[in-house]
């Protein structure tokens, strides 16, 4: 979608008729009456910030309930809202009451339905240029969102997490993902070890990252499809998950630092996978 000049908003009339281009719209719903309560409605997700909201508005798989916004926030969007899109104009202080404390909403708060569940069999394509990212009990939404952003940037196939020990879809995660939540398949599974077996059956070489490993990631990376497995900071991968990896590798960091933040480690590993020679 190309950024156009002029006002971007839900107005109709001749000015709206004159503007052309793909609308910022998924399966938008309508809603009447009052303000939000500071929490999303039952079964809904509340997103905030320009990148997260803009990506969700462009996602045809999102069902949107309502947008709270300042005029400046809507002006910042890369695209045009339909004339019937449910918008409630608000002041920045009003929006601050709808989001997490001190969250940078940038004049935009969107309430929408969560994304539909996805399954590994639907996304594993065996492309050696597109790694799979597997997270073992990484629970911080900022870290998971940042990893999603890197995974999308390096064209990863998907991100896989355990359903119970991973953050839910949320505004905090979406803000950290900076739009990646809407474009990167997120597979939530009940049993991560079983998912790793399915990934192996699809032809992927599973590499777990561990700072105590003898081999470096560069030495362990194959030419074919690869799955990068990362554990939580501090605890690392669980023993059962390590047992389901084909190789364990480390990043060649200086001894002056004990470890890297998991999102930084994921970004480096994704870069290494993207720049290797593939078959």
Q: For 45-63, what is each residue's pLDDT tens digit? A: 999 999 999 999 999 999 9
Pairing mode, strands 158-162 and 186-189: parallel
SS3 content of the chain, % helix, strand, coil (to 5): 30, 20, 50
> Using 50, 70 and 90 to split pLDDT, how confident is the model at 193?
very high
Alpha helices in the chain (DSSP H): 13-18, 50-58, 71-75, 92-96, 120-123, 141-153, 171-177, 192-201, 217-220, 239-243, 262-275
Domains and CATH numbers, the chain: 13-112 (3.30.1330), 120-275 (3.40.1280.10)
- The label of the residue with tokens 């910030």 reads 49
Instruction: Give yes or no for a contact between 144 and 167, defined as CB atoms under 8 angstroms apart.
Output: yes
Q: For 130-162, what is each residue's pLDDT tens digit? A: 999 999 999 999 999 999 999 999 999 999 999
Q: For 202-215, what is each residue's pLDDT tens digit? A: 999 999 999 989 99
The stretch 24-32 carries a mean pLDDT of 38
Q: For 93-130, what is each residue's pLDDT tens digit? A: 999 999 988 889 999 999 999 999 999 999 999 999 99
pLDDT value of position 29: 33
267 φψ region: left (φ > 0), alpha (ψ -120 to 50), beta (else): alpha
- Give this prediction's pTM: 0.84
Question: Does residue 276 carry a pLDDT above 60?
Answer: yes
- The label of the residue with tokens 């359903």 reads 163
């Amino acid at each position: 979608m190309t950024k156009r000049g002029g006002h971007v908003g839900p107005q109709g009339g001749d000015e709206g008729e004159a503007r052309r281009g793909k609308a910022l719209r998924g399966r938008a719903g309508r809603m009447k009456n009052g303000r939000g309560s500071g929490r999303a409605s039952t079964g809904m997700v509340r997103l905030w910030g320009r990148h997260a909201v803009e990506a969700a508005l462009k996602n045809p798989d999102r069902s949107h309930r309502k947008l709270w916004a300042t005029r400046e926030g809507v002006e910042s969007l890369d695209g045009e809202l339909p004339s019937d899109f449910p918008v409630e104009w608000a002041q920045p202080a009003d929006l601050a009451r709808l989001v997490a404390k001190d969250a940078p909403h940038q004049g935009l708060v969107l309430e929408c339905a969560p994304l539909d569940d996805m399954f590994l069999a639907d996304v594993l394509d065996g492309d050696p240029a597109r790694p799979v990212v597997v997270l073992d009990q990484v629970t911080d939404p900022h870290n998971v969102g940042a990893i999603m952003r890197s995974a999308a940037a390096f064209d990863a196939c998907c991100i896989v997490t355990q359903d119970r020990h991973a953050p839910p879809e949320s505004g905090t995660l979406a803000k950290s993902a900076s739009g990646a939540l809407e474009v990167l398949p997120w597979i939530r599974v009940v049993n991560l070890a079983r998912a790793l077996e399915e990934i192996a059956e699809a032809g992927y070489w599973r590499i777990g990252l561990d700072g105590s490993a003898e081999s470096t990631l560069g030495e362990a990376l194959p030419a074919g499809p690869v799955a990068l497995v990362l554990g939580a900071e501090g605890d690392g991968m669980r023993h059962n998950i390590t047992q389901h990896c084909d190789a364990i590798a480390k990043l060649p960091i200086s001894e002056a630092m004990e470890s890297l933040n998991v999102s930084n480690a994921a970004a480096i590993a994704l870069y290494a996978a993207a720049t290797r020679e593939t078959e």
